[in-house]
Amino acid sequence: MTQSHASNIKPITERDANVLYQHGTLAQLVPGLLEGTTTIGELLTHGDTGIGTGEGLDGELIILDGIAYKVGPSGVAEVVPDDFTLPFASVHRAAFQYQCQRSDIGLEELNKKIVAANGRANTFFSVIVHGTFSFIKTRAVIKQQAPYPTLEQVADQQAMFLGHDVKGTMLGYFSPLMFNGAAVAGFHEHFLSDDHTIGGHVLDAVLERGDILSQVFDTLVQHLPVDDPDYRSHDFSNDPIAAALAKAEREPRKD
Amino acid sequence: MTQSHASNIKPITERDANVLYQHGTLAQLVPGLLEGTTTIGELLTHGDTGIGTGEGLDGELIILDGIAYKVGPSGVAEVVPDDFTLPFASVHRAAFQYQCQRSDIGLEELNKKIVAANGRANTFFSVIVHGTFSFIKTRAVIKQQAPYPTLEQVADQQAMFLGHDVKGTMLGYFSPLMFNGAAVAGFHEHFLSDDHTIGGHVLDAVLERGDILSQVFDTLVQHLPVDDPDYRSHDFSNDPIAAALAKAEREPRKD
């Protein structure tokens, strides 16, 4: 076997394909620890596929085929540079396996069927759905400035987007119950339309027709911002982590 | 730089020294998922230092300098072979840094001072204490047979050991609050006397005089037994994880 030195593309080993890399924890966002403590450039050394949010909740990130897109309050996706910083992200090397095709199914039902089909509620895995969505509802938080507010305080500072008959990709991560806090237990899904005009954190969807692919991980590599002074000194013991994550991940703003 | 092919000893890179490897989660032990899903041989590829328990809670394991010792109901340590299986273990490559020497200090006070000294309640780290313990209280659970009982049901099936003026090593891992379940939040410490006649899971101790060394990790590599049928099918949502771990990690048997 020969190796091309002109290419950065590395073959995916079985070992790589089983690993989910996460920087930061979702629990950090609850009390407003929103400083960017890693970069897109660094994340891309751990995977070509992922989701995250920028410093100060600057947009909803989705990484597909090694390119990082950010959806901010305009709803339109833009490519972000390697030095863009993030407090939280999940990435992996794509080696998805085809699971099935589904039609006319809502998000909740779709997610239930995915868990049932692979019987893996205690395992980290990723799901990618590409197809036509008859309905998609996403949101993007508006970027905050330091000193940062809590996650609950930014609940009314979101832009929400509704799309109909949209072709696009929904990328999600499923985390087991016992890792709630590090991630959000259950699914965490971001979206990007093929034409990049709509995307963000998925609140609801109806899939008209699409292919479901999944990738199971046996290993979580959890990297923490251990030298960030705000992270080091924060007392998490009184933060309402579980309640705040459940609310923030699924509910749109109340207005 | 030349490499010796006659030696298995690999130099520790900065990257290796920052990584804590964990197989399984402590939460699995609560409902009695006690099947051995990794081996000492496999664990030793991820580190030379660590703690764990054998299949069916077969002893309290401590790995020092690449050698795995088990303390069972006799209280005496024996070396275990590479094919010994475990449901749970934490290991890393030792690169401890000297912190201080302490005298005449109880376990609780010692642990508090260690956290205060390095200011790292939100970071995984390891602590190793070598010295003379004027008092040490340890326990070892008695090995269970399948179908396995819950952690609470084995509370009265422990052997407890008391030592006075014992020279030995206490090895512990500190886990942040938000990873309670994956590990036990706070300290989890095992002991081995220099003469191997007493060891186990530390319940209490008074250090007469000893050296404190610590090693901080920025990364947790969490490996899950994703293909174990009992693990895959278990519903953790009703297990009293936090309460059972707090009780099991610190309290001796009630009798």
Whether the pLDDT of residue A49 is over 90: the answer is yes
Q: Which domains, and CATH codes, for chain A? A: 14-249 (3.30.1330.80)
State how far Cα B43 lies from the chain centre: 13
Chain B residues inside the 8 Å CB shell of A220: 220-222, 224
Q: What is the DSSP string of B195-230?
A: TSSSEEEEEEEEEEEEEEEEEE-SEEEEE--TT-HH
Residue from the list B176, B216, B234 with its beta carbon closest to the beta carbon of A122: B234
- Cβ–Cβ < 8 Å for B170, B190: yes
Give the residue-averaged pLDDT of A61-82: 97
Q: What ipTM was predicted for this assembly?
A: 0.93
Whether the pLDDT of residue B12 is over 80: the answer is no
Give the residue-averaged pLDDT of B44-65: 97
Whether the pLDDT of residue B248 is over 90: the answer is no
Residue in chain A closest to B231 (alpha carbons) equals A122
B223–A219 C-beta distance less than 8 A: yes
Residue from the list B122, B223, B236 with its beta carbon closest to the beta carbon of A236: B122
Chain A: nearest CA to B132, how far in angstroms?
A: 32
* pLDDT for residue A250: 66
- Chain B: residues touching A (Cβ < 8 Å): 25, 27, 119-124, 176-179, 181-182, 216-224, 226-227, 231-237, 241
Chain B residues inside the 8 Å CB shell of A122: 224, 226, 231-232, 234, 236
* pLDDT for residue B2: 37
Q: Count how many pairs of residues, chain A against chain B, have C-beta atoms within 8 Å.
A: 86
Strand-pairing partners, residue A49, are A92
* pLDDT for residue A249: 72
Give the residue-averaged pLDDT of A164-182: 95
Q: Which residues have a Cβ under 8 Å from the Cβ of A233 and sit 6 or more positions away?
A: B119
Chain A: nearest CA to B238, how far in angstroms?
A: 11
Spatial distance between the Cα atoms of B47 and A207, rounded to a whole number of angstroms: 46
Tokens of B217: 């990790």
Model confidence at A251, in pLDDT bands (50, 70, 90)? low
Q: How many residues does chain B have?
A: 255
B176–A122 C-beta distance less than 8 A: no
**pLDDT, tens digit (0-9, with 9 covering 90-100), for B86-113:** 999 999 999 999 999 999 999 999 999 9
Give the residue-averaged pLDDT of A189-213: 97
Q: Are strands A19-23 and A219-223 parallel, antiparallel or unpaired?
A: parallel
Chain B: nearest CA to A164, how far in angstroms?
A: 36
Whether the pLDDT of residue A1 is over 80: the answer is no
| Average pLDDT, rounded, for chain B | 92
Whether the pLDDT of residue B66 is over 50: the answer is yes
Whether the pLDDT of residue A252 is over 60: the answer is no
| Average pLDDT, rounded, for chain A | 92
* pLDDT for residue A5: 39
Residue type, position B161, single letter = F
- Chain A: residues touching B (Cβ < 8 Å): 25, 27, 119-124, 176-179, 181-182, 216-224, 226-227, 231-237, 241
Mutate to test the interface with A, among B14, B222, B234 (most CBs of A within 10 A): B222
CA distances from A109 to A84, A204, B50, B155, B219 (A): 35, 11, 43, 41, 35
Residue in chain A closest to B240 (alpha carbons) equals A178
Give the residue-averaged pLDDT of B180-196: 95
Spatial distance between the Cα atoms of A204 and A202, rounded to a whole number of angstroms: 6
Model confidence at B5, in pLDDT bands (50, 70, 90)? very low
Model confidence at A202, in pLDDT bands (50, 70, 90)? very high
Model confidence at B159, in pLDDT bands (50, 70, 90)? very high
Tokens of A97: 């396996």
**pLDDT, tens digit (0-9, with 9 covering 90-100), for A3-33:** 333 344 566 777 789 999 999 999 999 999 9
* pLDDT for residue A255: 35
* pLDDT for residue B236: 93
Whether the pLDDT of residue B200 is over 80: the answer is yes
* pLDDT for residue B246: 84
Whether the pLDDT of residue B3 is over 80: the answer is no
B238 CB burial (10 A radius; 0-12, 13-18, 19+): exposed
Spatial distance between the Cα atoms of A36 and A143, rounded to a whole number of angstroms: 12
Give the residue-averaged pLDDT of A38-48: 97
* pLDDT for residue A121: 93
**pLDDT, tens digit (0-9, with 9 covering 90-100), for B130-141:** 999 999 999 999
Mutate to test the interface with B, among A15, A222, A230 (most CBs of B within 10 A): A222
Give the residue-averaged pLDDT of A117-133: 95
Q: Where are the alpha helices (DSSP H) in A95-234?
A: 107-118, 229-233
Whether the pLDDT of residue A119 is over 50: the answer is yes
Chain B: nearest CA to A219, how far in angstroms?
A: 4
Q: Which residues have a Cβ under 8 Å from the Cβ of B176 and sit 6 or more positions away?
A: A224, A236, B121, B122, B123, B124, B185
* pLDDT for residue A22: 98
Count other C-beta atoms under 10 Å from residue A216's C-beta.
19
E strand or H helix at B250, and its extent?
A: helix B241-250
Chain A: nearest CA to B228, how far in angstroms?
A: 11
For A134, how many CA atoms within 13 A lie in the half-sphere containing its CB? 10
Average the pLDDT over each of A112-116, B15-19, B50-54 and give the range with the smallest value: B15-19
Chain A residues inside the 8 Å CB shell of B234: 122
A216–B177 C-beta distance less than 8 A: no
